[in-house]
Amino acid sequence: MSVFVHEQGLCESTHIGTGTRIWAFAHVLPGARIGSDCNICDHVFVENDVVLGDRVTVKCGVALWDGLEVGDDVFIGPNAAFTNDGFPRSKHRPPQFERTIIRDGASLGANCTILPGLTIGKRSMVGAGCVLTRDVPANAIVVGNPARIVGYVDTDRSAAPTPEAAVAAEASPRDLGVGGAALHPLVRVDDLRGSLVAGEAGAELPFTPARVFSVMLVPSKDVRGAHAHRRCEQFLVCQAGSVAVVLDDGKHSKEITLADPGVGLHIPAMVWSVQYRYTPDALLLVLASRVYEADDYVRDYDEFLGLL
């Protein structure tokens, strides 16, 4: 009695949570597992090897195929198209269907298409009509065919573009309110011969660098970073072009644009960072406080939140 199934709906599964509603012409196969307080709208088909979390909304005209795992509070828009076989042939069932994972709080717009084996990150937003060919990071907003990242949800963009000219004129760093991250003015000298930018450890630089590398020739559709460091600090300087940087400390998120080589961005340890929107001529210099250590990276956003 705690589950509503419309008289013209068909639910063969007994693994349905309290308060879930299954509407007309929907068909749920016996092996499917659906959480509490879900809304399965008209003309939805749910195959056996499908798991839905709590408070999931599946709008009309969606087929959920074997291998799909959906977290809590997910919205799946009308006619969203899932796939589970990268090379389908009639009457040739693969040994195992590829698994597609949708993390908690994600939203998928109407008519989007999701290729098999992808992970759609926590609280991400997939635009209507998107074609997903790659994983979607947590909190990312994606649009287009193929889908590309155009922003991040609930991110303060008041500092984008950054008031870098003002920062460059200041004598002290400007705190950004995200995990201790700050913009630091560097020494810049301009004359008829060109421009020179310098920084010294203990003065303009907040640490003594142990490693340096450059990032360049990044296609505008691609994203770099998308990780945090357990111990390592970084200092970013965009020496040419521009790049957008998203900072996240688990409570606050801010996006800034680096476009002035006279200003550096200090990213402390345990701050999640993403770099995207590279211009074709962008050259990003990165100074690190430690040498490369593979185990210093935190690449899973849920793990990052757990460590915090």
Q: What's the N-to-C CA distance of the chain in angstroms?
A: 41
Q: Is 252 a catalytic site residue?
A: no
Strands 283-288 and 119-120: unpaired
Q: Quickly list DSSP for 111-169.
A: T-EE-TT-EE-TT-EEPTT-EE-S-B-TTEEEETTTTEEEEETT-B-TTSS--HHHHHH
Residue 294: CB atoms within 10 A of its CB come to 5
- Token readout for 277 is 């929107």
- Do residues 104 and 122 touch, judged by C-beta distance below 8 A? yes
- Please give the order of strands across the beta sheet that includes 243-248: 253-258, 243-248, 272-276, 224-229, 297-298
Q: CA neighbours within 13 Å on the CB side: how many for 53?
A: 15
Give the position of tokens 């200090």: 266
Upstream peptide bond of 146 is cis (omega within 30 degrees of 0) = yes
Instruction: Give CA–CA dist 219/232, Å, rounded.
Output: 26
Considering all CA atoms of the chain, what is the largest pairwise distance in Å, rounded to the nearest integer? 82
- Token readout for 215 is 């990032």
Annotated catalytic residue: which of 6, 27, 227, 252?
227
Closest by Cα among 265, 258, 263, 261 to 244: 258
Active site residues: 227
